[in-house]
Amino acid sequence: MIDEKELIIALKSQNECERAFRVLVNLYKERLYWHIRKIVLNHEDTDDILQNTFIKIYKNIHKFEEKSKLYTWMYRIATNESITFLNKKSKKKNITIEEVKNQLIENLESDIYFEGNQIQILFQKAINTLPQKQQLVFNMKYFEDHTYENLSEILETSVGGLKSSYHIAVKKITAYIKLNETI
């Protein structure tokens, strides 16, 4: 296991920066990929956003004040990049965020990188009905198994608020699946 403090020092060092950044990418690319993918649902878009996320991390590592963990800071950047992407897509197509998310769900079934069945499609549709903040909280807690404390740092929200958001999200997803289940 690589010590985070040592990695940060190396990332901020002119001599070790490139090597340290390769280590950082190798350590976090898969976790960040799946975090982004849960938000934008499309492989190609996820790859683009992941690349933009790492570019932003590389360019801004010297501004990282170490008030949070490095991965928390990176998750925040990835989350913001994903939300910005969806907002830009919405503006470009002149449609609402909800309509963009509905299009992404419709495209999910034809996505060669999606290996899910009908139940998983229904599950994704249920998640898609949640407001953006609840969706983020649910995905990060359910799929990525973040603690509420980590979520609090990443999303800059109180633990109590996050617990409430997650609980409400679970209820909404359960109700949606029960209503739309045809199996």
* CATH number, residue 87: 1.10.1740.10
pTM: 0.85
- Determine contact, residues 156/56, Cβ cutoff 8 Å: no
Buried/exposed 109-139: b ≥16 CB within 10 Å, e otherwise: eeeeebeeeeeeebbbbbbbbbeeebbbbbb
If asked whether residues 85 and 148 sit together in one domain, one would say no
**Total of domains in the chain:** 2
* CATH number, residue 152: 1.10.10.10
If asked whether residues 4 and 86 sit together in one domain, one would say yes
- What pLDDT digit, counting tens, does each position of 75-130 carry? 999 999 999 999 999 999 898 888 888 888 888 777 766 766 778 888 988 998 99
- For residues 183 and 75, the model is more confident at 75
